[in-house]
Structure 1
Amino acid sequence: MTFSPTAESLLYPYGIDQGDTKNPKSDDGTSPEISISVPFTFYGKGYRSLYVNNNGVVSFGVNVSQYTPDPFPLDGGCPFVAPYWGDVDNRWGGDIFWRQTQDPAVLSRCSADINEYFPGIPFTAIWAFIATWDRVAYFGTASKKVNTFQAVLITNGDIAFIELNYADIQWTTGRASGGDAKTGLGGTPAQAGFDSGDKINYYNIPSSRTPDVLNIGGTTNVGKPGRWVFQVDEFVAPVTTESIDCLL
């Protein structure tokens, strides 16, 4: 399929027609190691490869098959970005797409976003990586509930950002994580945020691993419900808590 965003949509375009690669249909699966053309700096370390893991994680250095999320910081030291870490099983529905891009139109949109949210940092993107979980089901599903969300990594070769975008979140938990097969709720709900692996630089999006993560599409740290943005080459605290949840 191809996704063309409307004016209201926060997701960047994705799909085969956009030149994306698609992960295999697999429980707890992952992409192969993906070499990236521009190093991505994540808290002082430059990475030249990454993995897109079916369970809602983009990781550096090692793939991630764990399906029940732990809170950040993790003990294992694996650096990763988690738009929605939960027990995805796309054998029962949905696809995971990814691509790296230097397309001028995409980079122009990336630059505009970052300059809007971080006006004190003149920024021109030279590379982006877009990973999208499109209408993915959960392990043990006995329903038609699916989730759509996205992680976008953006850099100018020095300064680096991540965007986490949420289009439609209908479930929080797979059955193996204690969730109800008919509702996709209960048990240990999904985790969202990022972890640099150093036990110092990490962030748990509020409501992670609670039932309220179902409503993550209504939360933000940049004034746009459904989007969280972080500078990740060095730690920059999110915007004040007044903008965390636009539903309050």
Structure 2
Amino acid sequence: MGLSPVSQYLLMFISILSLTGRVTKAQTAPVIFYPFGSVAGDTVNIAVEDENSTRIDLWRPFVFFGRTYNKTYVNSNGHLTFNQSSSEFYVKYFPINGSEDIIAPLWTDVDVSMNGIISYQQYSNGSVLTQATQDINQYFPYLSFTATWVLVATWDRVEYFYHSGTETSFQVVLISGGNLSFILMNYGDCAVAYNAVQAGYDTVNSTAHFVIPGSINGSFIPNLMYSSNVNVPGRWAFRVDSRSDQNNLQENIIGVQMRVTSFSDLTESENIETVLEKLQQELVKSGLPGSVKLKFRRIQKTRP
């Protein structure tokens, strides 16, 4: 049955509203993201699967666990390398014990020829440095830090290889101030990953490494926008410069007091592992290397 002119007009009006809504949503960046894209003046990667960035000469040296770098590569498959570009789409799980430092906000098989862009930008002055200074001093208040250089790399609405409709947005921010270095990993809407995936960082010989809990499970990836180690949903922050407490680490025993709802909660191994994981996240936030392993030597019940 044909539609009246009025009905046709209403359908056209509704379609236009729907299209406008989709465009607006796609162009809205997550609040926690640093500026990116054409508005920020980013350099944009070529939209070819497994295509890597050209060499990026850093305006300031970046210290990563004792090694100083003057260049980096923003690789299409969700990770940064320093010595050479990488088209590696098959995820090697940390610790790799390899010869390359890797920063992986979301290492997986990305196909930007399907959708999305990868872009990056360096800053040595302006509001981005002010934002970075404020963020680092909030997360590491004992340092009195001032940012002098920032690199922002963003994967905006990219899709996983061979899986359409999997738009995923994430970002890594490298921040330097003299001999102090930090990285932020920011997550927006993320789709379930059907390919191998991992988020975190690794170092030469894996002397320091960290994997965001749950990130090797593809079904967990949408939860990244709610997870954090600094109480900011969707953001993970790490100090990654060279520090004496990260070199020649030896086994140490520390005493920790904590309150649990029931002492019997700690008698089951799976509950102990959960407590240790949460405790390690808090300690990493305060500067403990992610490679340090925690274990209970003794559990003692005391009166409150």
TM-score tier by shorter-chain length is 0.7 to 0.9
Contact kept? 1:230, 1:238, Cα under 8 Å: no
2:113 paired residue among 63, 87, 91: 91
The equivalent residue for 2:253 is none
Deviations 1:79-119 (A, max 9, x none): 11100001100000000000111132100000000000000
Q: Which amino acid aligns with 1:239?
A: E
Deviations 1:14-48 (A, max 9, x none): 01221100011111111011100100000011000
Matched residue pairs, number? 225
How far, CA to CA, are the matches of 2:241 and 2:118 in structure 1?
A: 26
1:64 paired residue among 56, 67, 86: 86
Matches within 5 A, 1:145-224: 145-173=166-194, 177=195, 188=196, 190-210=197-217, 211-224=219-232
1:119 paired residue among 120, 141, 155: 141
How far, CA to CA, are the matches of 1:166 and 1:81 in structure 2?
A: 15
Q: Cα RMSD between the aligned structures?
A: 2.1
How far, CA to CA, are the matches of 2:230 and 2:113 in structure 1?
A: 34
Deviation at 1:171, TM superposition (A): 3.0
SS of 1:198 mapped into structure 2: helix
Q: Which moved more, 1:25-34 or 1:229-238?
A: 229-238
Contact kept? 1:3, 1:14, Cα under 8 Å: no
Higher RCO by CA contacts (8 Å cutoff, separation 6 or greater)? 1
Deviations 1:32-87 (A, max 9, x none): 11100100000011000000000000111111211121211214321111000011
1:228 aligns with 2:249: no
Contact kept? 1:5, 1:12, Cα under 8 Å: no
% same residue? 37
SS of 2:161 mapped into structure 1: coil
How far, CA to CA, are the matches of 1:31 and 1:126 in structure 2?
A: 24
Q: Provide TM-score, normalisation by structure 2.
A: 0.70
Contact kept? 1:50, 1:60, Cα under 8 Å: yes
State the structure with more CA Rg: 2
SS of 2:188 mapped into structure 1: strand
Contact kept? 1:124, 1:156, Cα under 8 Å: yes
Q: What runs of 5+ residues in structure 1 fail to find an aligned partner? A: 178-187, 243-248
Contact kept? 2:169, 2:190, Cα under 8 Å: yes
1:239 aligns with 2:282: yes
How far, CA to CA, are the matches of 2:117 and 2:168 in structure 1?
A: 10
Deviations 1:164-196 (A, max 9, x none): 0001101313xxx4xxxxxxxxxx3x1000112
How far, CA to CA, are the matches of 1:197 and 1:3 in structure 2?
A: 38
Q: Provide TM-score, normalisation by structure 1.
A: 0.85
Contact kept? 2:189, 2:222, Cα under 8 Å: no
